[in-house]
Structure 1
Amino acid sequence: MVPVSSDDSLSSLRGVRERCFKVQEAAARQQLQHFEVDNTKLKDVVQIVVSLIKRDYDHPSEIPAHGRWRHFDAGGRPRIQTLINTWASLGQDAMEQTRRTLDLFTVACLLDVEAGHNWSYREKTTNRILKRCEGVAVAVLDLFQTGHFSSDPSDPHRVDSEALCGLTFEDLASGLQVTDRNILVGLEDRLGLLHHLGQTLQTRSDFFGGAVPRPGNLMDYLLAHPTTIKTQKGPLIHLETLWPVVQEMGEMWAAEKGKGGTPGLGDVWPCETIQYTNESGSTEHFVTFHKLSQWLVYSLIEPMTKLLGATIEGTDQLTPLPDYRNGGLLMDTGFITLKKADLDRGLENYRQNSLIPGQPKVEIAPMFEMSDPVVVEWRALTTAYLDLVAERVRDTLKLSRKDLTLSQLVEGGTWSAGRELAEISRPNTQEPPIVIKIGDRVIY
C-alpha cells in the first residue's frame, strides 16, 4: 500500500468512531458497496446480547472487563491471580507485580493468533486441552513462567529485550506445541512482532527505560509523566499518554512491513464506500481501526487498575473491536449480509483456495484477503453498529454507561454472542462467516 501524508486524526484513537460512522451513514443512505443492512434485525441482535447477559450474570455489574486476562482464566482457573499471589508471598511489591503482569499481557496480546480449529494446547500442570485464544494465552503463560522471555535464569518471570531479540521460531513453535498436525497459522509474523518489540524496548528508553528494558517499565513512564495526577485512590493516567506507547509496540511496525494497514498511520485502510473525490493524496476515504493497539489498551489497563488502583482517563474513546466474533454476530443474525456479487466472489476464492494442498475444505464460507474492500467495509460496520447495539442494550437493561461499560458489554455480550453463533452456524470449524485468507493473514 502506498504511504499517505500524515494525518493526526487517522493515527489517533479519536478518529476511529468518526470514520467508521461515515460508513454507517452510507449504510443508512443505502449506499454500501458490499453489504445489505436489514434494520429490522437490529432488535434481534440486541435481544441476543441481552439474553446472554441475563443468562450468564446475576447482575451486569458482575461482568468482567474485556481483555486478555479472561483468556488466561480458561476453565475457571484463576491462573493470573494465583501467580500474583505467589509474587506477593515472595515479597514483590505492587509496582513490580504490575510490571510483571504488563510484561506477560503485552507478549500475550502480540501472540494473540487467531488459532483455527486444527490447533490445540495441552496445559502442562493440568493436562487440560485448550483451543483458540484461551489455548494460546495459557501456552504463553507457560512460556513466561519457564523463563522463555527472560534473559536472566534467576529472574524468569519477566519479559526483556535481550530474550525477545534472541527468541527463535523453534523455541516459540515448541512452546506452543506446533507440529505438522497441530498447525498454528501466522506464527512467523507474530515472532516478527516479538523481535520488533525487543528492538523497541531498547530504542525507546523514554517509554521502557531502566537497567533492563522491558514492557512493564511503561508503568514507570506513565507514573512519572507530567499529565499523571496522584490521588488518594491511586494515579489518574490519561489514555492519550498510553496511546503512543501501545502503537509503538506493534501496530506501526506491522503497517510499515506490509502486514496490514497504511505506512505511517497503522491499522488504517482506504474504503471506497466513502470515497467521494478522486483528489490525489486525499485521506478523506480512509477508515481507521487500530485494533491491535486498542486490544493492548483494553488488556493492560486492567492490571493497572486492579494492582495499583489506577484510573485511566479517556477510556470512553475506546471502541468495539472489529474482530471476527463481533463482526460475525452482525452477519450470523442476518443484520448485515454480503451482496450477491461479493458472496459469489468470496465463495469462488474459497473454492480456489481449497485446491491448494493442506488448505481446509469444510464448511464453505466466502473468503477474502484482509485488504479486500469487503473486509474494510465489514470492519467499519462492526465498529459502528456495535456502538449502536451497546446503546440499545443499556436502554433495555435501564443501565448507564458507567453501570455497563463498553468493555463489559463486549465481554459479556457481543463477543460471547458472536462466538456462540459461530459454534451453532459452523459447528465443525467454528470459524467466522467470512474467512480471511490463511495464506495472506496479516497481524490484525
Structure 2
Amino acid sequence: MTPLDISASPPSQAGNSPESVLVRPPEEWLSAQAIRSSASAVMARAQANESRHFTWHPERMAVATAYVVALMKERYPDGLVPLYSIWRHVASGDQNRWNQLAAEHGLSPETTRLEHARAQIDFAVVAALMAGGQAPLWHYSDTSSGQHLPQPPGMAVAVLRWMGAGAFSSLSTHPVQVDAQGLAMVDGASMNLAFQVGPNNPLPGIAMRVSALHQLGLALEQHAQLFSLPEAPGILRPGHLVDTLFRLAPTGRIKAASLLSMLLHAFGEVWHGPNELNGVNLGDCWRHEAAPGGWVAFHQQAQWLAYSLIEPLQTAGLTVTDLDVLTGLPDLRNGGLLLDLGILQARDRAFHTQRWTLDAEAVVEWRALSVAILDHLAESVRGELGLTVESFPVGRLMEAGTWAAGCKIALAKRPAGSPPVQIDSDGAAFFPL
C-alpha cells in the first residue's frame, strides 16, 4: 500500500509461512493489518499456554465486561460513545476548550469549515506527538478553567494554549496554525514555559519533545505534496492533509487503514525508533519470536493520531470508514486494566516491580496480548449490549470504559493510581499513557 492509496485494501494475510516471511518487504509492517496479525500470533501462543511471561484467563472476561459496561453506563448514560481521541482530553473537566479557542479566532465550523478542520488537524498532530512519556509528578494549571490537570489531559490542554498563543505559526496574522517554519522556532525555553516546568513541576524529556517537533517540521518539508496547497506552496501544515484527502478521495470516503498508512509513511522519521529492516525505519515495531517475521507492530502513537483525526475530517465533510481495522492501544491504562482484572497474569510477580524498557520481551508480549485481548473484550461488551462491530469498534470501547477503568482500578489498588507496569519512558515517541 502506498501512502497515497486511499481505497486500497490491507495487505493479504497469506504471508505468514516461513517461506513468505523471508521475502516480506519491511513496509508490510507499516500497516493496520500488521498490528492485529502480529498480536494475534502472540495471543495464539498464550491461548495454548505457551507464553513465556503471561497466562491468559478467559474465565475473567465476564468480570471485565461487567466492570467496563458499568463504567460506560455511568459515563455515557445515553449510550452515545465517541471515539477515544485527543479531543476527550481537551474537554477534560467538562470544558469545551477547542470551541472556545476557535470562537476567539473566528474559526467557526459553519462559516470556515475547511480552515476550522485544518486547525484541528494541526493541533491534533502536535498534541498526539507530545503525548509520549511518563510524567507522574507533572501537571498543568489551566487558568481559564481553574483546573489542575495531570498528564495526559494536561499535556493536550497545554499544547492547545500554546498553539492559541501562535507558538507554532510563522504568520502573525494567522496564529492558530502549525507550519514547518513555526515548528523550527520552538526551543527548550519556550517549551518549559508553555508546559509550566519547574523544580516542583518536572517534565522529563524536554529535549526529546523539542526534537520531535523539529522532526515534524522536516517531515512536512519532505512530504510537501501532502502538506501544501497549490496556491500557497510555501506554507506546509499538517492541516493541509484534509485538502489532500479531498483531492485523493473525490467520493469523500477514506478507509481507516489507508489513513493510518499515510500517517506512518508521512511521519516515519518523527516516530523513528531503534529498529530498521533493509534500511526502512519500522517505528513502533519490536522483536518477538512468536510474531510473523519476528516483529510485532504496534504503531501506538500513529493509531492514536488516526483516531484523533477522524472527527476533524468529519467536520470537513469526509468520512473515515472501516474503523474496526484500527486496534486497541496497549498503553498503561488499557493494557494495565487487563492485568489488574486478572485476565492477563504475569508468571513472575517481579514483572510488576521491575522497571522495563520498551524492547524487553516481556513488555512486547504484554503489549501484543493487550491488543488481542482488547478485541476479545470489545466482542464481549458488544454481546452484552447488543451492539455491532460497525457501531462499536474498539476505539469506542477504549473511550467507553477501558481507559477510564484502567485509571479507576489502578487508583483502588495502588497509591496515587500508579499503573501495574513500570516503563522507562521520558518522552519517547511511542508510549502515550
TM bracket (short chain): 0.7 to 0.9
Give 1:125's match in structure 2, choosing from 129, 144, 150. Answer: 144
CA distance in 2, matches of 1:250, 1:17: 21
Check conservation: 1:254, 1:261, Cα contact below 8 A.
no
Match of 2:50 in 1: 31
With normalisation by structure 1, the TM-score equals 0.85
Which of 383, 393, 400 is the aligned partner of 2:388? 400
Residue 407 of structure 1 and its aligned partner are, at CA, apart by 1.8
Q: Which residue of structure 2 lines up, in the alignment, with residue 353 of structure 1?
A: none
**For 1:373-388, what aligned pairs fall within 5 Å after superposition?**
373-388=361-376
Percent of residue pairs identical: 31
Q: What does residue 84 of structure 1 align with?
A: 102
- Structure 1: state its 5+ residue gaps: 276-282, 348-364
Which amino acid in structure 1 is aligned with residue 366 of structure 2? W
Amino acid at match of 2:377: V
1:292 aligns with 2:301: yes
SS for the counterpart of 1:36 is strand
In structure 2, what is the Cα distance between the partners aligned to 1:331 and 1:295?
22
Confirm or deny: 8 A CA contact 2:163 2:175 kept in the other structure.
yes
Q: Please report how far the alpha carbon of residue 174 of structure 1 lies from its aligned counterpart in structure 2 after TM superposition.
A: 1.1
Aligned CA distance change for structure 1 residues 252 and 314 (closer, same or farther; 3 Å): farther
Structure 1 residue 140 and structure 2 residue 121: aligned?
no
Equivalent-residue separation in structure 2 for 1:12 and 1:409 (angstroms): 21
Q: For 1:326-405, what aligned pairs fall within 5 Å after superposition?
A: 326-340=334-348, 343-344=349-350, 346=351, 365-405=353-393
Supply the distance in 1 between the matched residues of 2:340 and 2:276 (Cα, whole angstroms): 26
Question: Residue 218 and residue 443 in structure 1: after superposition, are their counterparts in 2 closer, same or farther (change >3 A)?
Answer: same
For residues 382 and 93 of structure 1, do their structure 2 counterparts lie closer, same or farther at Cα, with a shift above 3 Å needed?
Answer: same
Name which of 319, 322, 328 aligns with 1:320. Answer: 328
Give the C-alpha shift of residue 254 in structure 1: 3.1
- Corresponding position of 2:237: 214
Do the aligned residues in 2 keep the contact of 1:110 with 1:250 (CA within 8 Å)?
no
TM-score with structure 2 setting the length: 0.87
SS at match of 2:415: coil
- Is the contact made by 1:370 and 1:441 (CA closer than 8 Å) also made in structure 2? no
Decide which of 208, 231, 242 is 1:189's aligned counterpart: 208
What corresponds to 2:311 in structure 1? 302
Residue 269 of structure 1 is aligned with which of 281, 286, 303? 286
Q: Which has the higher contact order (CA 8 A, sep 6+)?
A: 2
Aligned residues between the structures: 402
Q: Which residue of 1 aligns with 2:250?
A: 229
Give per-residue Cα distances to partners, 1:104-145, cap 9 Å, x unaligned.
111111011344331111113233211111111111111000
Answer yes or no: is the 8 Å Cα contact 2:184–2:213 preserved in 1: yes
Matches within 5 A, 1:54-93: 54-60=73-79, 62-86=80-104, 87-88=106-107, 93=112
Distance in 1 between residues matched to 2:384 and 2:24, nearest whole Å: 44
Report the residue type matching 1:398 in the other structure. G
Root mean square deviation of aligned Cα: 2.2
Q: CA deviation at 1:330?
A: 0.5
2: distance between equivalents of 1:145 and 1:249? Answer: 25
- Identify which of 250, 255, 280 aligns with 1:238: 255
CA contact (8 A) 1:200 1:248 kept: no
Question: Displacement, 1:442?
Answer: 5.3
Q: What do the CA deviations read for 1:421-443 (whole angstroms, capped 9, x no partner)?
A: 11212232x22101102469553
State yes or no: 1:431 paired with 2:418: yes
Alpha-carbon spacing, 1:50–1:13, altered in 2? closer, same or farther (3 Å): same
Q: Which residue of 2 aligns with 1:104?
A: 123
